[in-house]
Structures are given as structure tokens and as C-alpha cells.
Chains A and B, each alone.
Chain A
Amino acid sequence: MSEPFIAALCERIRDHAARKAPLAVRGGGTKDFYGQGCVGEVLDMKPYAGIVAYEPKELVVTVRAGTRLVELESALAAERQMLAFEPPHFGEGATIGGAVAAGLSGPRRAYVGSLRDFVLGTRVVNGKGEDLAFGGRVIKNVAGYDVSRLMAGALGTLGVITEISFKVLPRPAHETTLFFELDEARATEQVNRWAGQPLPLSATAWEAGKLRARLSGAASAVAAAKVRMGGEEIDAGSYWGDLREQRLGFFAPSHALWRLSVPQTAEPMAAGHAQLVEWGGGVRWISGDADAASLRAEAARAGGHATLFRGGDKSVGVFHPLEPAVMKIHRRLKDAFDPAGILNPGRMYAF
């Protein structure tokens, strides 16, 4: 199953490159909404599935791109381990390859690191139909440029990801949620003060005067942190999962959704818009129509950027415009990995 699939994939990409015929690389299709839209013939990665190697004591798993996220996560859970970056699925069919291509991380990101932080290696087929491996299956590796992390979040525009190795982490023994009533400015300051202390913080979310903080760790450490932080201990139910999957009422699917990624300590912004703030202040979700130019200007002034995450008018550009020097390098990288411009063209920027 493995090598014939890769051989056929390389051949198909070479053929498309020769004809300059675009390919829309696709896993479960659960993140089709994300980005500027897909053009070209669908390249379905779902058949290339399965866990290649999993050594719980090494904290390393290697998995084929088409493997469903639920399948990978349950295999890890059976060993009391997890993908610590809590990738959002956005649907049952979500694949690990799609998660890496999208580069999205969930609620735990601000406290343990992002998806790309846990990528150890990737195998990709570039736009020339070459089967390439970068990084490795070990935790420390500085041989060659870090092309495997470059693939995370590149939306399949540089290569078709076929295999990924991740560092995994133990699941915390104990989790609980504390609840506080605070306005946005005070909540933001509070979560950042906590983050500067050795507390087992693993997620925060603020919406409409309500702050939730999740604690994860050894039972004794969580108990001690509760005493130190105060607030009210609540049964969070499915809250954190619903936040990760954007199933909370805030994320009304009929509305446009903007994602402002800003320094965690940035002042409250985009006044007048309904907001949900997570990642210790680092991400401000804005639901409903908003003026792209002014949102982007405000995010940039604070040192961040704004993405039209879902819905809305994509003609304003889904992703934040790049500085000319950075855009120059993007174009050259795209030319290097996909000279015919056939892999998800235009999905990210105008190339």
C-alpha cells in the first residue's frame, strides 16, 4: 500500500506539473473553508492512512497523512498520551495531514506550544514529484534547514505532506476549570500574571465578562494552584472541546469569523464587536462582519495580524498582507518547491 501510493502520487504530480494543471490537495475536507479556496482536480490523501510507528516511551509517533485525527488521538490516548497542541478537527473526517497543512492549534497552545513545535519530521512530495524526507523521528535534530516545520501551516502550497513524525506528551493526570468574573482588560492582565508563575495553566478563555482557566497536571499541583488562583471551581463539561471545535454559541456559523493573533498582553481591541479571547490574550476571535482594513490596522499596530478565518467576503484577502521583503521570500520558496505552481495555487496568497 505505501510505496505504490507514493510512486503513483509522484507520477501524478509530475504529470500535472508538465501540464501546469492545478491540484487541490485534500484530506477529510473539513478545512475546505479555510484559506482563499481550492482550485483544480482533487488529490485525495485519505487512502494513505495508518500509524507507521509509535513508541510511547520515545514520545514519538509517525503517521501517514491520510490517517484520521480521531484514530491517531485514540491510539495515543490508549497509552495515556496526546497531541499536546490539541488540533481542531472541524469535522469527523479530519486527517492529520490536513491538520499539519492548516497549522492550527487548539486551547492548550499558549501553554505547551504550537503544532509546528511538535513536528519532528515530514515526508513530502514537492511540486516536481520528488519524494523528500526532512527532519526525523528523534526529538533533537538540527541537520539541514527546518523544512519539516516549514510545511506546517503552508496549506499544501509547498508540497504534499505524506508522513509526519510528532513529539507527543503524557496526558495530564488531572484537570479542572476555574471560573472568574472579570472585564476583558483585567482578565487579560490576570492570565498573563498567572503565566509568569509556575502554575499548571493549560488554557484560558474569556467571553462577555466570564473568564475560564483550565489547570492540568498532578493532582496535588492542580489543588495547590486552585488555592493560589482563587475563583470558583466549575465542571467545565464539554466547554474546552467545544471551544477547540468552535461549537460554542459564540461561533455562530452564519457569521463571518475573524481571528486576531496579537501579543498576549495587547489592550482590548476592535471595540463594539462580539469577542472571545483565548490563548492567554493571544487570540481574539471576532464574530460578525467587520471592516477588514481597520481590523488589520489595529492588529498590526498591536504587533499582530488578522485572518478572515471563516465566511465573510474573501475578496479582502483571507490572510494578512505580508511585508514586501517577506513576500519576496515566499514567492521564491514557492518557486523552489513548486515551480509549475500546481499545488493548491492561490489557497494562501496570490501564488
Chain B
Amino acid sequence: MNAHALEVAQPDLRARMLGALRGIRPPLLVIDDDEGLKPFETDAFIAHRETPMLAVLPDSEDQVRAVVKACRALGVPVVSRGAGTGISGGAIPRNDGVLLVLSKMKRIVAVDALARSATVEPGVRNLQVSETVACHGLFYAPDPSSQSICSIGGNVAENSGGVHCLKYGLTTHNLLAVRAIDADGDVVDAGSLALDAPGYDLLALLTGSEGNLGVITRVTLRLVPLPERTETMLAAFPSVRQAAEAVGEIIAAGIIPAALEMMDRIVIEACERFMAMGFPVGAEALLLAEVDGSEEDARESLESVRAILDRCGATEVRVAASDIERDRLWKSRKGAFTALATILPDYYTIDGTIPRRCLPDVLERITALAAEYGMTVGNVFHAGDGNIHPCIFYDANKPGELERSEEFGGRILEICVEVGGTITGEHGVGIEKLRQMCVQFRAPELAAFHAVKAAFDPDGILNPGKAVPTLKRCAEWGGTHMRAGRMPHADIPRF
């Protein structure tokens, strides 16, 4: 329904909502003109767009509470938005709803170096936290690829991961407390400054709830010591199977690397063309391993990992001798998609997790599907934790390609579930994966999710229609499409 149709249906709702928002004291920025609303019509899931009825940019928690109460009173949906870097569509607005943009709430409220914690407002950028506390020898560990622009509030809403979460954990493992405003407008403090809190673990529920349970207004992050030493190495393997075997052997040896990333031949070849890394011709897989810790820890782990890589058949192992070389090795990982994007203009990134032992088989099945669909897939994995990011390349100018890539992506996710994995490791469900939620969960489980939502949001006004599908909708939705040319913040890596 477009805005015009909405006004026909409820002629005065928009005006009443606008009046209520303008009545909030102290006043907050309310956007009601089409030009002002335009930038908010999507997040980084650009296949889908919607103009919000209204957008507000509060400066304070009290204003957030007032907005939520006003919306509740009128039965108007509220969609929260941080930096808008999510690629599953969790922050896509509704034309019958208010978009609550938290980007102005970006104060670092407190840093306690001795207690290793930082309390921040939701609009603070992820990387900014680590930059702020580096002088204390500390950092905030979760590092989603968009960390230079993504917000902490969004990280909490999505339970974001990153390349270092095998060792350091996801967002949920790095939080002490979250304050959220529930649909009643009540302040819900979950977690605490202590290591636990009484009662049910509401902190776990709020983390990753994709704006469905509350609006996050304050977050206390757990900080960890910066490693004294980091060792990074890149190994080339003649087969994916051998590389996967090496990953298993590293873990079995009792080593938990900070990062363990794998890339397949398509990616290697693109890197070679784009960056001339000089890898052996015929390498089918690259493994990027990083170990960190104290001087002794890092050095000892480096030697052990290098021995395992050799033993598992690596044809070449490069160890970064300096930070510059480390950055160069990481480029093969982070720059891979930029390189691949030169082949075809459009790509669709899949995010699923599988038991690591299934990696070679799942990869073979993806390759077979690629042949069936006549499409190219480049594979990058957070190999340590089985989080796969196949990237389907297509040309949206060719009729039907977009839809076929969508269908292909859905089948990959169904394989993930079939082998005992999950449809999203770190990007969230949003609107992208509602259909696959129905593959992973059965009706009573989905009903339980809706009941959890109702405990925080009895009328269902917080980000309705995202994260958990209604049973009725199970067969309706599509995929996340990254139009290379039109993607917001196209320069920011996202996987």
C-alpha cells in the first residue's frame, strides 16, 4: 500500500501521529517530507524499499520512550534503525509506521578501564569503541566487516559476529548490560555491571531480537585486553578437503585461532587477477589463520599451526613478517569480493552455518547447484566456526537472473539446515530469510517465538513482520540482493 492509499484508508492517522510526535518535549527531529524520508527507505538490503510514514531522530532515552508510547497509543508500528548496514532488511521501514533512527544517540557514556567496560548509546560506531579504549590496552572484540560504520545498537539487535568470533565470541558473549524500551514504554534493564543478573536471561533474549522486543537505548560492552602479539599466515591447498582437514586438525590440537578463514578457487583466481598475490597456480583453497595473545602464546601457536598446515598438504605457507604484510594477507580475504565484482555486476551473499566437517560436501553440492543454475559462486568461509558465505554472481539486467539467484540462495540455506546447520550465522533473518525460518523451525517453535515477542510487545508494534514469520507467510519472501552499483556504502566490506 502506498502512502496515498494509506491516507485514504486512515485519512487522519498520519496527521495525528505527526501531532503526537511534535508534542514531545523537549522536541525531537521529526521528518515528514518525502525528500527527507527518501534516504531511509532501505538499509543495505536494497532489493526492497519502502518510504516510512514518518521518521524521528531522538537525542535521548526519554524521547525514545515518548515516541514508543505515542506510537502504541495510536497503534502505529515502530521500526528502529541504527546505521542501516544490515543486509537482511531488519531496518526496512513501513509506510504505515514510524522509523526510529538512533544515529543521534551516539555518546560514549562511560569507560571504566579497570572494570574493562564501556557504556555507550546505541548510535556509537563499533570501531569507535575500540579506538576510544585502545589507550587502556583494551578493545571491543566483535568486528563485523562493516565495523567502521555500523552501530553498536544494530550489533546488539543482530547479535553480530565478525572474523574473530571463533576465539572472542559473538556480540552476545561481549555484553554486560542492555537497556531497552519495551512496547509499554517501560525501561527494561537486562544484564548488569556484575557478571550475572537475577531472574531470566533477558539479555540473551534482547540480543539478536532484531528490534522486535525493545528499542535499545544503552549498552554496556565488555572489553578485553589487546593481544600483545598477532601472527597471521596464509596457506594454499590443492583441495578444499585438505584445507578443511587442516582446520579440524588445528582445533583438535587444542588451538583456538583468533581467525580461520577459507577461500575457494573462484575467489583465489579473482584475487590473483585483481591484486597479483602470486599464489601457486592450481591452488583450490586458501586458508588464512591468525593467532594472537601474549608473546609466548602467539609464537607457540604459530609454530604449531604452521606444522599442521604443512602436514595437511599446504603447497605454500606465508607468514606475515610485519603489519603491512598482515594487511596484505587480509586483503586476499577482504578484497576478494571487490575483485569478484569485476566479473559480474551483481551479487547475492548467502549467510549460513554448517557443522565444519560437512564443508567439503556442502561445497560440492553448491558447485553442482551452480552448474544447474548456470551461475558463478565464489565461496568464503569463516572456516573455524562453519559460517559459510557463498556469493552468487548474476547480471540483474538479464531477465529472470535475479529471481533465479534468489531461488539458488534459498536452496543453499536449505542444505545448511539439512546437514544440521542454520540459515543465518551472523546477518540475521530480517525480511530476507523469513521463508527459511519455516524450514528451520516447526510451527510450535515459531509460536513460542511469537509468545516471547508478545511478552515484550503485546500489540505487536515493534518491527512487525521481521525476524519471525507468521505461519501464514511462510512461503512468501525473497532474497538479499546487492546491486554493486547501487549498494549504499559500496566500499565497505560486509562478510
Contacts and interface: CB of A to CB of B under 8 A. Distances in A.
B138 A196 contact: yes
Given A143-B429, A333-B455, A336-B455, A307 B198 contact: yes
A58 B357 contact: yes
Interface in A26-85: 55-60, 80
A170 B204 contact: no
A319 B182 CA distance: 24
A142 B201 contact: no
Contacts of B448: 126, 130, 132, 134, 147, 336-337
B308 to A, nearest CB: 12
Interface string A160-196: 0000000001110100000000000000010011011
A140 B170 contact: yes
Identify which of B199, B300, B385 gathers the most chain A CB atoms within 10 Å of its CB. Answer: B199
Contacts of B404: none
B75 interface: no
Contacts of A336: 448, 451-452, 454-455
Interface of A: 55-60, 80, 103, 109-110, 113-114, 116-117, 126, 130-134, 136-147, 149-150, 152-154, 158, 169-171, 173, 189, 192-193, 195-200, 217-218, 220-221, 223-225, 261-265, 279, 282-283, 303-305, 307, 319-320, 322-323, 325-330, 332-333, 335-337, 348-349
Contact of A305 (B166, B198, B204): B198
A282 B114 contact: no
24 contacts: A55-B357, A113-B169, A132-B448, A133-B445, A138-B386, A139-B166, A139-B386, A142-B159, A144-B440, A145-B205, A145-B208, A146-B159, A152-B204, A154-B200, A154-B201, A170-B251, A173-B254, A197-B137, A221-B293, A224-B296, A265-B112, A305-B198, A326-B190, A337-B451
B269 interface: no
A146 B205 contact: yes
Interface of B: 112-116, 136-138, 158-159, 161, 165-166, 169-170, 172-173, 182, 184, 186-190, 192-202, 204-205, 207-209, 212-213, 225-228, 248-249, 251-252, 254-256, 293-297, 299-301, 353-357, 382, 385-387, 420-429, 433, 437, 440-441, 444-445, 448-449, 451-456, 458, 467-468
A6 to B, nearest CB: 13
Contact of A142 (B249, B256, B421, B425): B425
Contact of B356 (A58, A113, A131): A58
B386 A140 contact: yes
Given A55-B355, A307-B198, A224 B294 contact: yes
Contacts of B213: 145
B353 A149 contact: no
A319 B204 contact: no
Contacts, number: 270
B437 A144 contact: yes
A218 B194 CA distance: 29
Nearest to B160: A142
B172 A149 contact: yes
Nearest to B195: A282
A330 B205 CA distance: 12
Contacts of A145: 205, 208-209, 212-213, 449, 452-453, 467-468
Contact of B136 (A195, A196, A220): A196
